[in-house]
Amino acid sequence: MLKFLPFLLAGLYAVAMYKFSSWRMARELDARSTRLVDPALTKEIKKLAQAMEVDDIPVYIYQIDPINGLAAPDGRVFITKGFYEKFLKGDVSAAEMASVIAHEIGHVALGHSRRRMIDFGGQNAMRMALGALLSRFIPWVGMYIANMVANLLMAKLSRSDEFEADAYATALMQQSGIGAQAQITMFEKLGALTGNVNTPPAWMLSHPKTDDRIAAIRANLDRWSD
């Protein structure tokens, strides 16, 4: 039993660090965010809320420049100031912005933050076990390989979450009457908006390639229409 204690402690340490990171993020978001109040976006958000049969979906603006959406571990949904400014300039439509919000709602509804906390603890334990094993045969390099394998696994799980949240958003956009075409056009614009035209290989990415996400959305729409 004692031989498994280091791995158990590694898992518990990872969970504790995840909890601390979530707490620190919540403080950051509290300090640097405000409630989104925009008539055009509120109209689209109300459509999402009606489709979910809830009274309201609070959405907040996180006061940072990078273009992104965020589902916080405490369940709140954010869009960044940089993203909102693109909407104000007319680069992004209200429907396209609604698709980003629907995606983040998907992360909340599907419990991805809780899942990642569990996965993170398991991956940390796996990293230690694999590192200890490999270090017996290839000293100095074994832990490096174990870290690389654990990071690749984490990236793969993250991509799976993104596909799931995309599918949830597609269904919600269709159910709300906004339509999933806005989700597709949002992705088509995303590379130019963020400047991330050149990306590393898919197996190293925490998010799927944009073309793969668009293809998955279209495949879901075709399957659901059948």
Q: Are 57 and 36 in contact (CB under 8 A)?
A: no
- Which helix (H) or strand (E) element contains residue 203? none
Q: pLDDT tens track of the chain, all 226 residues?
A: 555 555 555 556 556 666 666 677 778 888 999 999 999 999 999 999 999 999 999 999 999 999 999 998 888 999 999 999 999 999 999 999 999 999 999 999 998 877 666 555 556 656 666 566 666 667 766 666 656 666 666 667 778 899 999 999 999 999 999 999 999 999 999 888 877 655 544 444 567 889 999 999 999 999 998 6
Rounded Cα–Cα distance for residues 169 and 187 (Å): 13
CB atoms within 10 A of CB 79: 25
pTM (2 decimals)? 0.77
Burial of 69 (0-12, 13-18, 19+ CB in 10 A): buried
Q: Are 70 and 62 in contact (CB under 8 A)?
A: yes
Rounded Cα–Cα distance for residues 101 and 98 (Å): 5
Determine the distance from the C-alpha atom of residue 198 to the mean position of all C-alpha atoms in its chain, rounded to a whole number.
20
CA atoms in the 13 A half-sphere facing the CB of 219:
9
Residue 59's DSSP bridge partners are: 77
**What number of residues does the chain have?**
226
